[in-house]
Amino acid sequence: MSEHEELVGKQMRRWELSKQLRQRFLRDEQQPRSTPCVITISRQWGSGGTNIASLVAQKLGFELYDKEIINQVAERLGADPRHIEHHDERGPDLVGGIILQLLEGKRPTEATYLRTLVKVMRQIAKQGHAVIVGRGGSYILPESYRVRIVAPENIRVARISELHNMNEKAARRAIIETDRQRTNFVRAHFGCDIDNPLDYDLVINTEHCSIEHAAQLIIEGFRARQEALGVACKTST
C-alpha cells in the first residue's frame, strides 16, 4: 500500500469516527437540559447578523463570542488557530484534508474539532450571559434562544459588494460559496438543514429591518421566553 493510499484510508476512518461522534452527540442532546442565559445567532453572510449580535450583546451586557471560539478551540487542542479555521463552519473536505495532512503533517481531525467545539460551547453556556455567533451554536445548545438572520440574495450581494469593494459577480460568487460551506457544516455535523425555520425561536429578514430594530426584536423575544420559562437572567437594559 502506497503512502497516499494509507493516508486516504486514515482520512476515511476519521470521517467514520466523526459520523459516530455526531450520532452520539445527537443522542446526548435528547436529554433534558437547563435553559441558560445564552443567545445563539445563525446568520447568512451579508444579512448583518454579526453586527446585530454585537449590538445585542452590548445592550444586554453579555459577552460576544465569534472568532473567539476558534481561539478557545485552538487553545484546548494546543493547535495553531489557522488549522482550526480549516474546519470553521465548513463541511468535511476529504481531498483538502489529505492535502493539508501531506503539507503540514499532524493537525486536528474533524472529530477532534467537533468534540472540542462542543466542550467550548457548553462551557460558555455554563457561564451564561453570552451571545454566540454561528458555528452550529443553535444545534449544540438547543436550550439557548436560537435566532436566524437572513436577507434576500440580491440585498446581500449589494451589501457585500459595497463593504468589501467587490464587483457584483465576485460578491455573488463569494456569498454562494459561503452559504454552501455553512450549509454543509450543519448538515455534516448535526444532520440538520440550516434554513429550516423550525430549528429557531426567531427568524429575522433584514431586507427592510435595521440593525437596531433587529437587535431589539431579539432582546424582547429573549426576555419574553426567559420570563415564560421562569428563568432569571440579569441584563443591563
Domain that holds residue 39: 3-228
Structurally, how many domains does the chain consist of?
A: 1
Please tell me the pTM assigned to this model.
Answer: 0.79
Using the structure block, give the residue that is written with the C-alpha cell 492535502.
99
CA distances (Å), 139 to each of 49, 63, 91, 172, in order?
A: 17, 20, 15, 27
Residue 226 neighbours by CB under 8 Å, 6+ apart: 35, 37, 145, 232, 233
Cα(77)–Cα(75) distance, integer angstroms: 5
User: Any idea what the Cα angle at residue 79 is, between residues 73 and 85, rounded to 5°?
Assistant: 60
52 domain-assigned: yes
Residue pointed to by grid coordinates 493547535: 79
In-domain check, residue 158:
yes
* Tens of each residue's pLDDT in the chain, 237 residues: 555 555 545 555 555 655 566 555 555 544 445 667 999 999 999 999 999 999 999 999 999 999 888 888 888 877 766 666 655 555 555 434 433 444 344 566 777 788 888 999 999 999 999 999 998 999 999 999 999 999 999 999 999 999 999 999 999 999 999 999 999 989 988 899 999 999 999 999 999 999 999 999 999 999 999 998 887 787 776
CATH code (residue 134) = 3.40.50.300
